Amino acid sequence: MWYIAVAAGSFRRYATYRIATVAGVFTNTVFGFIVAFTYIALWDERPHLGGYDQAQALAFVWTGQALLATTGLMGGGGLDELQERIRTGDIAVDLYRPADLQLWWLAADLGRAGLQLIGRGVVPMAVGALAFPLALPGDAPTWGGFLLSVLLGVLVSFTLRYLVALASFWLLDGAGLALISGLACMFFSGMLLPLRVFPGALGEVAQLLPWAAILQVPADVLVGARSGGAVLGGLVFQAAWAVALLALGRLVQSAATRKVVVHGG
């Protein structure tokens, strides 16, 4: 119940930023149109690029815009606050709380992601569906698989951003690492271009990296590029990365906590 309250509080907190949410919806929608017209030109030249038809490619575009803030694809996503608390030393207060640090921030991130999915995800997707012929599913099980995949994508994204935030225990300023991490996520998640389009070994390796679990897998589930057993395989892939990175975050957190104690924090 403690962590549910944290998630609910985080949801309410982000719900108060109404102007920022509206601005985000506008930005996502504008960029959605820009990328969509770029994809139309590209798929007109190569109609089945990456195994997608044009309707699937356009659905991929708008899925990326809908999940951009939800999954924290550009980094931050609330964990920039954790970085700042580490830098200022306020993290010592957090460690005195009768709650696990990792689970606390995970609950807060899930609350944030829920608000962003509703506030900044639904409208851009709806606008895209009205303006373009999108390959969206018409059955509830596919939508359910997509939402489950989004949840796992948020978990994987959190674990990566949490590791970046914890690096601030050893760095004087973690902003540079956060920027590099955000760029890597944008490129290897499929946000710029679906990973199936990447040539040769680059595409094969990119689809095995944890960033692929954040957007590429959920988008493939939604547009029908994954079906049947492939959907289950994608969910297992996401869950495996989430568990592995949560465990790694736990180890790094333990080492960081010892560092705080050693330095009298």
The predicted structure's pLDDT at residue 95: 84
pTM greater than 0.85: yes
Tell me the C-alpha distance between 113 and 209, whole Å. Answer: 22
The predicted structure's pLDDT at residue 261: 54
Q: What are 69's two structure tokens? A: 């803030």
One digit per residue, the tens of pLDDT, for the chain of length 265 reads 788 998 999 999 888 988 988 999 999 999 999 999 999 999 999 998 989 999 999 999 999 999 999 998 877 677 888 888 888 888 888 888 888 899 999 999 999 999 999 998 999 999 999 999 999 998 999 999 999 999 999 999 999 999 999 998 888 777 888 888 889 999 999 999 999 999 999 999 999 999 999 999 999 999 999 988 899 999 999 999 999 999 999 999 999 887 665 444 4
Tell me the C-alpha distance between 55 and 221, whole Å. Answer: 14
The predicted structure's pLDDT at residue 170: 87
Q: Work out the end-to-end distance of the chain between its first and last CA atoms, rounded to an integer number of angstroms.
A: 29
Q: Are 183 and 73 in contact (CB under 8 A)?
A: no
All residues at 6 or more sequence positions from 142 whose CB lies less than 8 Å from its CB, including other chains = 221, 222, 224
Tell me the C-alpha distance between 11 and 78, whole Å. Answer: 12
Tell me the C-alpha distance between 178 and 162, whole Å. Answer: 10
- Residue with tokens 């608390």, as numbered in its chain: 85
- Residue with tokens 């807060």, as numbered in its chain: 108
All residues at 6 or more sequence positions from 218 whose CB lies less than 8 Å from its CB, including other chains = 63, 67, 146, 149, 150, 153
Long-range contacts: 197-201, Cβ < 8 Å, 24+? 197/49, 197/50
Report the domain count for the chain.
1
Determine whether 130 is exposed, middle or buried from the number of CB atoms within 10 Å of its CB (0-12, 13-18, 19+): exposed
The predicted structure's pLDDT at residue 260: 60
In one-letter notation, the amino acid at residue 169 is F
Please tell me what DSSP assigns to residue 199. Answer: -
Q: What are 75's two structure tokens? A: 């980094």
Residue 182: which domain range? 2-262
DSSP symbols for 158-194 = HHHHHHHHHGGGTSS--HHHHHHHHHHHHHHTTSSS-
Count of other CB atoms within 10 angstroms of residue 193: 17
C-alpha distance from residue 89 to each of 94, 253, 261 (Å): 10, 15, 12
The predicted structure's pLDDT at residue 265: 46
Tell me the C-alpha distance between 66 and 120, whole Å. Answer: 6
